[in-house]
Amino acid sequence: MCLDGTTVFGSSGHGAHAKYMRVPVSTLVPLPDNLSFTTGAAISCGTGTAYGALRRLKIQGARQ
């Protein structure tokens, strides 16, 4: 939760399992009101892993 009370998800280069964590503001993503924090965290973990793998592979658009 940000200081203004907005619930967000953020990440850093290292994993953490804590109620609060300090992360760069550029990594923050607001969670929609209809998405619980638990669901958002579960989605972002898997999505973040896949996104990170694609970035490391330098995938860019469709290949033929």
Distance of CA 5 to the CA centre of its chain: 18
**What is the model's pLDDT at position 14?**
60
Q: Report the distance separating Cα 39 and Cα 42, nearest Å.
A: 5
Q: Per the confidence metrics, is the pTM higher than 0.85?
A: no
Confidence of residue 1 (pLDDT cuts 50, 70, 90): very low
Average pLDDT over the chain, rounded to whole? 72
Burial label for 10, CB within 10 Å (0-12, 13-18, 19+), is middle
